[in-house]
Amino acid sequence: MKIGFIGLGIMGRPMAKNLLKAGYELTVFDLNTEAVDDVVKAGAKRAAGSAQTAREAEVVITMLPNSPHVQSVMLDDDQVADAMEAGTTLIDMSSINPIASRAIGAALAKKGVEMLDAPVSGGEPKAIDGTLSIMVGGKQEVFDRYRELLGCMGASVVRCGGLGAGNVTKLCNQIVVAINIAAVGEALMLGKKAGVSPEAIYQAIRGGLAGSTVMDAKAPMMMDRNFKPGFKIDLHIKDLNNVLETAKSLDSPTLLTAQVMEMMKVLHADGSGQSDHSALVRFYEKLANEEITRV
């Protein structure tokens, strides 16, 4: 199967490599030529632009930062949709506003192009080892056709409903992740201020009800002062913006999300926007005048 892949960032690059390992034929494009060079060395073909990735491809996969980027690439500036033949499929794996997903899907349908929205969760480590959680929206028959392909990038591939349902589910995921990270930082700071080792607290509670994948991924990063981005604060701000916009349109309360959003905005203003979202702990450190370490 021939695939066009657009967007080779922190997540997209290892995802593309996993498709190559699975034997798929990829043509790739990104504005970052170093990222393209890396994936070409792994066996992909280089495209001169976004639209060229779609020529002769059965599937085009996009992994882009936000709704306007997908809109621009597919329909506006790059017009990838015009290079796609009727009967082909766009799988947008970006995390975008579900309203935008449905609008893009409607425009593609007029051209005879199918679409799945399939955002992912798991960060760079799970993108590298191919164990992402993939949340999919779209027609059942289209999902069934490409489930095996998606399984090359994720350990969990779940259809959540019609087009847009994948991104609704991703927004729900990002609420839980953001609030969980903030809670871990808040808890470790309370322990540190009380004279108890953050490492001891983490080891004591991780096996109980408070334990989570988020805690296991982010608490060690906090204690090691390792904020190399697996998922950037600025990207999480983008996702929470989409959460709050979608929630407002549905009159759905998002009190905790709004609080964490304000925390992330403070960190962005302090220059931590490109840090991993585990750097949320810095918000508590600033208020408490204390630094979280393992001891």
Q: Amino acid letter at 223?
A: M
Which residue has tokens 């936000």? 66
Instruction: Report the half-sphere exposure of 174 (CA within 13 A, side-chain side).
Output: 34
Q: Which of 170, 218, 232, 238 is catalytic?
A: 170
Question: Where does residue 135 fall: left (phi above 0), alpha (psi -120 to 50 degrees), or beta otherwise?
Answer: beta
Catalytic status, residue 248: no
Are 14 and 39 in contact, with CB atoms under 8 Å apart?
no
Q: Is the dihedral of CA 284, 288, 291, 295 positive or negative?
A: negative
Strands (E), the chain: 2-6, 25-29, 45-46, 59-62, 89-92, 114-117, 120-121, 132-137, 154-161
| β-strand pairing of 120-121 with 59-62 | unpaired
What is the C-alpha separation between 112 and 162, in angstroms, rounded? 17
Q: Which are the contacts of 222, defined by CB distance < 8 A and separation ≥ 6?
A: 184, 185, 188, 198, 278, 281, 292
User: H-type helices in 152-197, by residue range?
Assistant: 165-193
Q: For residue 287, which phi and psi values (nearest 5 degrees)? A: -70, -35
Q: Amino acid letter at 178?
A: A
User: Which residues are tagged catalytic?
Assistant: 170
